[in-house]
Structure 1
Amino acid sequence: MRFWRRAGHAVALSGGYAFATLLSLQAEPARAFDLSSLDVFGLFTKKDEPPAPSASALPYKLDFDLGDAENAKALTRTLQDASLLYRLRQDAPPDGETLARRMTADFKPLVDALWSQGYFNAEVALVVNGTSLTLGVEPNATLIRTLEAHRNRDAVPITVKVSPGKVFGLRKIDVVERDEAGPPAIADPLKVSKLKAGDPATAAALRGAQAALVDYMRAQSRPLAKVVELRPVVDHAAGIMDVTYVLAPGPLAGFGDITIGQTDEIPPEVVRSFIYLEPGDPYSPKALADTRRSIATIPAVGSVRIRENDKLDGAGNLPIFVEVTERPKRLLGFSARYSTIDGPQVKTYWEHRNLFGGAERLRLEASLFLAPRIDGTKIQSFGDFKESDLGARFAFSFMKPALNGSRYDWLIDGVATRERVGLNRYGGYTARYANVTTAIRHRFSDTFSVQAGLEVERGQTSDVLGQVDYTLVGVPLSVKYDSTDSLLDPTRGFRAIASFTPYPTFLGSTVGIYQTKAAFSAYYALDEDARYVLAGRIGFGSVAGASLDEIPSTRRFYAGGGGSVRGYAYRSLSPLGPMNQLVGGRSLLELSAEARIKITDTIGIVPFFDAGTAFESSFPDGKQQLQMAAGLGLRYYTGIGPIRVDVAAPINPRKGDKPVALYVSIGQAF
């Protein structure tokens, strides 16, 4: 027997109603997307239909009656999730006695579910044609006859009648530490637990407080911390609960030896190179989470498991064990995006994630897109379509991670492109070029890396300033810092990347230029669950060393498009030259701000503001007006990343700019 203490006397309860069971229950209604709860053209209603009546079984239908209880809809869902009768409703019992036993067995999960929501004085009865079965009463012959009367006629109508009563509140909350030497592990445990007098005494609140206390102690480098005892005292007459948490903080510890276990066909030394923990470092759950995320950036890795030892080693540190599973080696994919201004684009790609057995990745891509007309003509019909109206891009990338088990990676990237960029009203440029870049990247940590390499590009560009046939040979240098919590949907942290590439003539460049680019974005979640996130981005670019007409159009700067200033066509914001045509600039400034608001777990809205343009000089000045736009986005959150639909309108449009633009893609705008 398990006892609950209460004011004045103790109440004995069966073990099935122990509070440990209560805490193990889901405290909120399930949030899964259940098609059975929808009635879309009648397609999903059959699951709730009971089996057909027969001579050999007793099908039943189940209704929940909570009267005028508050939150009746949510509480009904909680009871359905807990109810054995509800889960087994498609499995008709053979006779009335079996159905009566199933009804009796349903009291325990139903009462536990009500207690998990703080309804400790709830009353539950199962009613069939006026005959009731209540808690603690065995089914009698009358109930069985009532059930059997429906055999071969119709489904037995069972009603779960619930009088929840009021939600119990918390009164006295104590957090004590079991006898431990030294100062207390938590200076203000009530603040950490986030419990206060008057809060509902729900399983979710109590379990959340327990997790918060343990998480806090573990974050203080106490990996063995735990709550060893939870002492609830319920006063049914007063409708309150007193609760005491007994903590065992455990000793302070660091990380011990890091053992690499199963890695499938990925070399263990590659996995180890992406682990930045070292034995003796202070223990930290965040460091473990960062390690898991760092290992997962290896393209060949499918899943990461980090296991902690259950005891400290002889030096007082905690050994760590890491295991990974490999993703499928080959990937073939297809993607598409669309903008009402920039038109459609389709892309196919093939990838091998462990090409030579050292976790090398090779990726091949091919894209086709509509090249906008920039000569004043329009595509009026299919017969007007020309081969030059199609743009194409072919690219490859290769990465050899962890050279000789080090934190150096070897990267090779190549691209060949034919494109036409601009607007019919303001012109633009056409370009054909091929580029190959090889680089060595050094990872200092999971957030910080530097890279240096060699780049060669040959191409031809043409615009209103003339044609440029060029060769560029440069030494790209870059630095990257990324502390965000997600690549496609960041909610916290910073992301910064800066690069500088000189293309001197003594290396073979036909025009000596020096290009600088930088981008910085920040993400701040206003709440713990990141349902409200503020995001901002600033982008900068500069090219120096030559006059504008000597610089290839592809190396000049333009703003506009879905990843820049939404509401304007791709790369359509720049200074205007002869005949009022786009000529690009030698510097760039872009600004963006968003408020990402989740309405539900899967749906969100994003009001945003963008501004930017390119400038004639090598540094942004006041001679060129910033073009601005505002809009509203819709997000559908998936396991891969958010699907983005943005509608943007220019605030200070130029003549010929469309009043609104629509963008559809995967991932946030930045």
Structure 2
Amino acid sequence: MRFWRRASQTVALGGGYAFAALVGLQADPAKAFDLSSLDVFGLFTRKDEPPAPSAATLPYKLDFDLGEADDAKALTRTLQDASLLYRLRQDAPPDGETLSRRMAADLNPLVDALWSQGYFNADVSLVVDGVPLAVGAEPGAPLIRALEAHRNRDAVPITVRVRPGKVFSFRKIDIVERDRGGSAAIADPLKVSKLKAGEPATAASLRAAQAGLIDHMRAQSHPLAKVVELRPVVDHAAGIMDVTYVLDPGPLAGFGDITVGQTDEIPPEVVRSFIYLEPGDPYSPKALADTRKSIAKIPAVASVRIREADKLDGAGNLPIFVEVTERPKRLLGFSARYSTIDGPAVKVYWEHRNLFGGAERLRLESSVFFAPRIDGTKIQRFGDFERSDLGGRFAFSFMKPALDGSRYDWLLDGVATRERVGTNRYGGYTARYANATTAIRYRFSDTFSVQAGLEVERGQTSDVLGQVDYTLVGLPLSVNYDSTDSLLDPTRGIRATASFTPYPTFLGSTVGIYQAKAAVSGYYALDEDARYVLAGRVGFGSISGASLDEIPATRRFYAGGGGSVRGYAYRSLSPLGPFGQLTGGRSLLELSAEARIKITETIGIVPFFDAGTAFESSLPDGKQKLQMAAGLGFRYYTSIGPIRVDVAAPLNPRKGDKPVALYVSIGQAF
């Protein structure tokens, strides 16, 4: 039953029913999904056909007549979502009496659906063979006779006749705080609610405004904020709505005790070490979101649920309860990538996510990739292919998180590689080496960490400068900062890494060198939905302490490839030796810029520009010009990350560089 309170031509929508009708019951049509509305290759057509006529039932078919309404297709969809007749169209009633009652029960939900879209002067009726049934009317004998006349003949033709009229708009919007005499609860309520005078007065906008007001107050450390009353007043003559939100902000509060729920096998203290909140910290929804993201970094964790208490504790703080679900312990998978310049690569990996019962992760992976020829010969037929044309890598990584429940993690990594890098025209290098690194990482927060360790590498490299047999023993130090919102598809934030590793001879290194690396990338969304994102990256590297020919080729710097300067072969940009072949450099500079544009929810384009090269000196200088490239990327967005297809062309190509390069992989370029 509706509650109407008339004052001249103004109608106030009071009571819980009207409020629910406006903001609670009618689903947003953009989110509705019904397979019966699809007709893909005729797969669902039969569902829209009524049951066959029979003597025992009265099947019916439903048509929607909206006259000359604007956006009739979307409005019809909204009415179908609200209509009981539409949902039960395959369930034929036994007689005209039952069908007429079903029709009568459908009218109020149809009106509510129209109100939810701002049509407050809509006229709705159901018509069968010229006999109408209007809102508030009881089905009479003429309607029942019209229904029964179709028994055992055909489906009853029911027409939903709607004349929606014009969409009402907002006029006056007030947000007041309860128990404060009607004073404003928020300094700029219209900005927070995003309601504007003159815009359509729809249920979706009312709901969004209510959520925005609550979110704003929660962000101000009022976790129990709520809208206690919504007072919409509709002026039918003027076609406008005035609306007042009565807001109860609740008390200012901080975080209370943080309780980690029982887990199957992950120790609760491991989960707790990834929570950087402490009791007494100011309450913040962002802090909760960051906590959820931080806990999800534990490889053994599948999902994180954070539950807030419904009342404050004795100290005026809000207790928090954290629950996690665990992933399957073992994982076996593979990945592949392809570039028209660098060729194919395939990787197989196995992972155990809770090796010893302390959320330890062990990952083993093996990859095979094409090793480009650098001696002037070419593969022209299958018989020319040799075993040396394949490169391989085996790697393992082990992590024990939260040592003794602390924020310290132990990392152990190893790799053995055989590779050949370069191009036929500019040469390159061949290398065989094995590396093992152990380190301790300390996490200051979910975004910032430092790491220190010990690294040992033995190997052999060969290039135009000669062969180097070497041993390196170093002390790697690194810092990492990552405030981005996604690993594979960041749209906001900054990602920065910096490392410095000395390899002094007194530790056992055959050549004393000092290596520094840094990379910074930033992401800026131009709109709230991140459909337009600007992204940029700067990479830098430097080696000092030895001459170029003493440094192993794998430690020298090169640019080029899908994660560097696209359009050029992998690690093919560097100074050239006396015979015009790559020597690598002692410093590196890389620059990239992208505009990531979503055309639809799943399709996007990315125009990009890359530049970079390696330099002979320990710092970038003007002697070596930057190689530049530009291109266009295509993205297909999936739940696990975007599938990337980039087409790049060198802007200042060297002799022998291909005019176009194609890259295919998962995740953004940086």
- Scaled to the shorter chain, the TM-score interval is over 0.9
Aligned length: 670
- The one-letter code sitting in structure 2 at the alignment partner of 1:611 is A
Is contact 2:270-2:401 (8 Å) kept?
yes
Displacement, 1:107? Answer: 2.5
Give the counterpart letter for 1:501 in structure 2.
Answer: T
Deviation of 1:84 (Å): 2.8
SS of equivalent residue, structure 1 residue 578: coil
Aligned to 1:320: 320
Amino acid at match of 1:365: E
Structure 2 counterparts to residues 273-312 of structure 1, below 5 A? 273-312=273-312
- For residues 263 and 635 of structure 1, what CA distance do their matches in structure 2 show? 38
The structure-2 alpha-carbon separation of the partners of 1:549 and 1:104, relative to structure 1 and needing over 3 Å to count, comes to farther
**Within-5 A mapping of 1:368-407:** 368-407=368-407
Deviation at 1:459, TM superposition (A): 1.6
| Residues 368-517 of structure 1: pairs in structure 2 closer than 5 A | 368-517=368-517
**Deviating more after overlay: 198-207 vs 79-88:** 79-88
What per-residue deviation string (whole Å, max 9, x for no partner) do you get for residues 500-547 of structure 1?
Answer: 111111111111111111010111111122121111111111111111
Structure 2 SS opposite 1:628: strand
- Conservation of the 8 A alpha-carbon contact between 1:53 and 1:152: yes
Letter in 2 for 1:267: P
Classify 1:149/1:602 alpha carbon distance in 2 versus 1 (closer, same or farther; 3 Å): farther
CA contact 1:264–1:324 (8 Å) conserved in 2: no
Aligned residue for 1:75?
A: 75
Shift of the 258–576 alpha-carbon distance from structure 1 to 2, 3 Å rule, reads same
- In the superposition, relative to structure 1, how do residues 185 and 407 fare at CA in structure 2: closer, same or farther (>3 Å)? farther
Q: What is the aligned partner in structure 1 of residue 361 from structure 2?
A: 361
Deviates more, 1:525-534 or 1:27-36: 27-36
Q: Aligned equivalents of 1:550 and 1:83: distance in 2?
A: 79
**For the residues of structure 2 that align with 1:243 and 1:198, how far apart are their CA atoms?**
13
* 2: CA distance, partners of 1:57 / 1:659: 71
> Residue 550 of structure 1 corresponds to which residue in structure 2?
550
SS in 1 for 2:539: strand
Taking the aligned partners of 2:374 and 2:50, their CA distance within structure 1 comes to 65
Deviates more, 1:166-175 or 1:17-26: 17-26
Aligned partner of 2:611: which letter? Answer: A
Displacement of 1:603 after TM fit? 1.9
Tell whether the 8 Å contact from 1:253 to 1:317 is kept in structure 2 after alignment. Answer: yes
CA contact (8 A) 1:611 1:629 kept: yes
| Alignment correspondent of 1:669 | 669
Deviates most, 405-414 or 454-463? 454-463
Moved more, 325-334 or 131-140: 131-140
Q: Alignment partner of 2:337: what SS?
A: strand
Residue ranges of structure 1 left out of the alignment (5+ in a row): none
In structure 1, distance between residues paired with 2:415 and 2:33: 42
Checking the alignment, whether the CA contact within 8 Å between 1:27 and 1:117 is kept in structure 2 is no
CA distance in 2, matches of 1:389, 1:32: 54
* TM-score (norm. length: structure 2): 0.94
Matching residue of 1:623: 623
Aligned AA (2:463) = D
In structure 2, distance between residues paired with 1:385 and 1:35: 52
Counterpart CA distance in 1 for 2:209 and 2:56 is: 50
Displacement of 1:115 in angstroms is 1.4
Cα deviation, 1:149-200, whole Å, max 9, x if unaligned, reads 5555554444433222111011111111112599965222223222221121
2:10–2:237 contact (8 Å) kept in structure 1: no
Alpha-carbon distance in structure 1 between the residues aligned to 2:115 and 2:648: 49
- Does the 8 Å CA contact 1:586/1:614 hold for their aligned counterparts? yes
Secondary structure of 2:554's counterpart equals helix
Question: Is residue 50–residue 61 contact of structure 2 (8 Å, CA) maintained in 1?
Answer: yes
Contact 2:13 2:233 in 1 (8 A): no
Q: Deviation of residue 499 (structure 1)?
A: 0.5
Distance 1:585 1:144, change over 3 A: farther
Further displaced range: 627-636 or 223-232: 627-636
Structure 1 vs Structure 2: percent identity of aligned residues? 87
Letter of the aligned partner of 1:578 in structure 2?
A: P
Distance in 2, Cα, partners of 1:32 & 1:368: 46
Which residue does the alignment assign to 1:640?
A: 640
Q: For 1:306 and 1:378, locate their aligned partners in 2 and report how far apart those are by CA, in whole Å.
A: 59
Bigger CA drift: 176-185 or 98-107?
176-185
Greater alpha carbon shift after TM alignment, 404-413 vs 216-225: 216-225
What residue is the counterpart of 2:525 in the other structure? 525
Moved more, 383-392 or 316-325: 383-392
300-309 or 87-96: bigger deviation: 87-96
Equivalence for 1:84 = 84
SS in 1 for 2:491: coil
**Superposition TM-score, scaled by structure 1 size:** 0.94
Q: 1:13 to 1:282 in 2, by over 3 A?
A: closer
- Cα distance in 1 for partners of 2:463, 2:94 equals 83
The residue type equivalent to 2:660 in the other structure is V
The CA distance in 2 between the partners of 1:561 and 1:32, in whole Å, is: 44
Preserved CA contact (<8 Å) 2:11 2:233: no
For structure 2, the residue ranges without an aligned partner over 5 or more in a row are none
Is the contact made by 2:273 and 2:405 (CA closer than 8 Å) also made in structure 1?
yes
